[in-house]
Amino acid sequence: MHPGADIPRFRRIPLGPGRGTRSSQQRGGGCRGPGGGRLKPETPPSPRRWGVDSILAIGRRRLPLLLAAALLAASCGGAGSSVFGSGPGTTAAPVTTPASTTTTAAPTTTTSVTTTSTTIPPTTTTTLPPAVPVVGWEGEGVREVAVEIEFDYPTRIPDLTAPSEQALREVGVIPMPGAEAVLRLEMTGSPESAQYSDLGTCYTGARLAGTASLVAPGREPLLVEIEGRVPPPQVIYADECASSAEEAPFGDAFAVPLIRVMAALFGPGSVPYLTAIVDTGFPEGWWDRWYGRLWAALDAFRELDREPIGAEAAHGFLRACIASIWWLRPDFSASPDFTLDDDMRSHIDHVRRVLLDYSDTDYGFEDRTDIDEWHTWLDGWLAAQT
């Protein structure tokens, strides 16, 4: 903890009738005569003795009536009606009313044609991310890279794999097991210990050494040396004491070499990763180790060829540099006795060198007004590039 700074010490913690027509019988019975009137029934004569002349006379009177009745009965055609013949006991053949003709209309079948509309699904186009150029591969690059690590402390390999894959993501490469391109890290680790009062031996330091190689079919392997170390701190908290060599801070020792490896392999393509390192806000963990990562990123950026670096990428990095002067940020309030220490002064020097590679004016880092001037210059610089 720096003297006078009100900064907490941070630790990283590794879905819903009609009526029918009546028949002639239903209308009053009997058939109608030719004149439309009803025929009156005959009144039978009273019984008396009859002579031949009387019989003939009666017959002459009644014969027309009989004939008319016969004709009328035939015309009515009712059921059971008979035509009287000339011979006794002779029954004329019944007159049969022709059967009615029933006309059946053939049902009309309507066929409904169902039209099926087929909706063609939209075509989804998947655009692969651009390959990130690799230094020394003549403009060729990679999209996917498998990470393989060999380390003499196997249980600590995840601590080395996670930051390596995150670094690739920041660069724009997809970590993919089984990919043709392989980032192979071969390292050995050496724990470092120190004696602390009331705690005894604690493995609070570590050293790493080895190589990083990027290999792909048809490409010449690229090799980068790895060398990293974090020394045991002078003062620790009791929960920071690692009692076994396997618990030594190998991940911290790997942080700086990893920055160098990414910059060496991907060159200008590593700028997004370097920006993420610098743009981490306030110090975390051990301050000297935090500053060590920032300074490695600042130095790596300065060593890159500036021409291939896009204006937006450079602007993002330079903005992060200005913001890394954390004690001059608006969201920081210093205690009355706050003073700069050696690490802060060294950090100012690293940031100043980077900014003066782009700016002709040094606006200083004395107060927040200086920070505002740096931001004003940076916005003007970006506008001039576009």
Burial class (CB within 10 angstroms; exposed 0-12, middle 13-18, buried 19+) of 236: middle
What is the value of pTM for the model shown? 0.68
Residue 327 DSSP symbol: G
* 173-187, 216-230, 280-294: range with lowest mean pLDDT: 280-294
In this predicted structure, the answer to whether residue 170 has a pLDDT above a threshold of 80 is yes
Interval 266-291: pLDDT, tens: 999 999 999 999 998 888 888 999 99
Q: Taking the CA of residue 373 as centre, how many other CA atoms within 13 Å lie in the half-sphere pointing to its CB?
A: 12
* Pick from 91, 99, 96: nearest CA to 77: 96
In this predicted structure, the answer to whether residue 256 has a pLDDT above a threshold of 70 is yes
Q: Taking the CA of residue 303 as centre, how many other CA atoms within 13 Å lie in the half-sphere pointing to its CB?
A: 17
**Position 118 confidence tier, pLDDT thresholds 50, 70, 90:** low
Residue for token digits 């009309």?
A: 108
* Pick from 273, 269, 277, 274: nearest CA to 309: 269
In this prediction, residues 212-236 reach a mean pLDDT of: 95
**Position 82 confidence tier, pLDDT thresholds 50, 70, 90:** very low
